[in-house]
Amino acid sequence: MPAEGLPAEGLSAAIRAHGAVALDVAIDVAPGQTMALVGASGAGKTSVLRAIAGLMLMTGHVRVGGHVWQDSAAGVLVPTRRRRIGMVFQDGALFPHMTALENIAQAMPGDTDARDRAAALLAQVQLAGLENRRPAQLSGGQQARVALARALARDPEILLLDEPFAAVDRPVRRALLALVAQVRASSDMPILFVTHDMAEAAASADTLCFLVDGHSIETGPAQALLANPSSRVRRWLDG
């Protein structure tokens, strides 16, 4: 059940965690909206994504697409494999012993049409013809495309992008961001996007969430926040 007053199919999360980075973050992303998590290295951006994916211990709640994935108060904890997540990891995390096609098909366990659907997804990310290449035989940009296709293969309820294109040069990154924009235009799933590149965040996101030391210091519409930053955000931007 979606929580009262929250978007029916978006993301609502309140995350508290104690670990390498202590987190105390509340996030709401409406359906079809993209939020960029921005902050310095070690601010907890990746940890927020990992908490939503169920890859680290946290308390609080995570609700996505009307489903409760975690609610510590009610004792609900859905394991990662049962959460319909599309996640692109920082280094791609492609399975090195598998071809591009097999990598994507891994996200569709038990699906009899997995290979056909994986081939269609490869075509969607403009990699038709490279089905049988292994990750080591692909460029950084091509690996990022395969990782994006794999993330989309589960028909996810949320897309989590952890600095997915950090390892590619600017022209390739622009092309990849255009691909994400296409996905965004054709789906109403929320997208959460980690970056430390303000220009990229401003160009790709509807809302921004500034993280400092595991706390969200400011959240709001991207254009408004950047046009008229609060003193705390300005301090962070300056420094």
Partner 1 sequence: MMDWTALWLSLWLGTVTTALLAPVSLALGHWLAVTRWRGRALVEALLILPLVLPPTVIGFYLLTGLGPQSLPGRAWAALFGEGLVFSFSGLVVASLIVNLPFAVQPAQRAFEAVGQPLRDAAATCGHSAWRCFWRIELPLAWPGVVTGLVLAFAHTLGEFGVVLMVGGAIPGRTRTLALSIYDRVQAFDNHGAAMMAGMLMAISFAAVALVFVLGRRRHAR
Pick the binder of partner 1 from 48, 62, 87, 205 (CB under 8 A): 87
Residue 192 binds partner 1 (CB under 8 A): no
Q: Which is nearer to partner 1, 60 or 86 (CB)?
A: 86
Residue 112 binds partner 1 (CB under 8 A): no
Q: Which is nearer to partner 1, 125 or 225 (CB)?
A: 125
Cα–Cα distance measured from residue 198 to residue 202, given in angstroms and rounded to the nearest whole number: 6
Pick the binder of partner 1 from 60, 86, 190, 229 (CB under 8 A): 86
Which residues between 38 and 77 bind partner 1 (CB under 8 A)?
Answer: 50, 53-55
CA angle 10, 195, 71 (to 5 degrees): 35
Pick the binder of partner 1 from 16, 154, 196, 215 (CB under 8 A): 154
Which residues between 207 and 236 bind partner 1 (CB under 8 A)?
Answer: none
Residue 106 binds partner 1 (CB under 8 A): yes
Q: Which is nearer to partner 1, 120 or 226 (CB)?
A: 120
| Interstrand relation of 59-64 and 85-88 (parallel, antiparallel or unpaired) | unpaired
Pick the binder of partner 1 from 45, 63, 145, 150 (CB under 8 A): 150
| Interstrand relation of 23-29 and 11-17 (parallel, antiparallel or unpaired) | antiparallel
- Build a one-symbol-per-residue string for 115-144: x at contacts with partner 1 by CB under 8 A, - elsewhere: ---------------------x--------
Q: What single string gives the DSSP state of each residue in 63-98?
A: EETTEEEEETTTTEE--GGGS-EEEE-TT----TTS
| Nearest distance in Å: CB 90, partner 1 | 8
Q: Which is nearer to partner 1, 50 or 145 (CB)?
A: 50
Nearest to 192 by CA among 162, 166, 213: 162
Cβ contacts of 54 within 8 Å, gap of 6 or more: 62, 69, 70, 77, 78, 79, 80, 83
Interface segment toward partner 1; rule CB under 8 A; list 36-44, 81-89, 121-129, 211-219 = 81-89
| Sign of the dihedral defined by the CA atoms of residues 82, 50, 214, 92, in that order | negative
Cα–Cα distance measured from residue 32 to residue 180, given in angstroms and rounded to the nearest whole number: 12
Residue with tokens 């301090």: 235
Cβ-defined contacts of 66-75 (< 8 Å, 24+) = 66/1, 66/2, 66/8, 66/9, 67/157, 68/1
Site residues, partner 1 (CB under 8 A): 50, 53-55, 79-83, 85-87, 89, 91, 93-97, 106-107, 109, 136, 150-151, 153-154
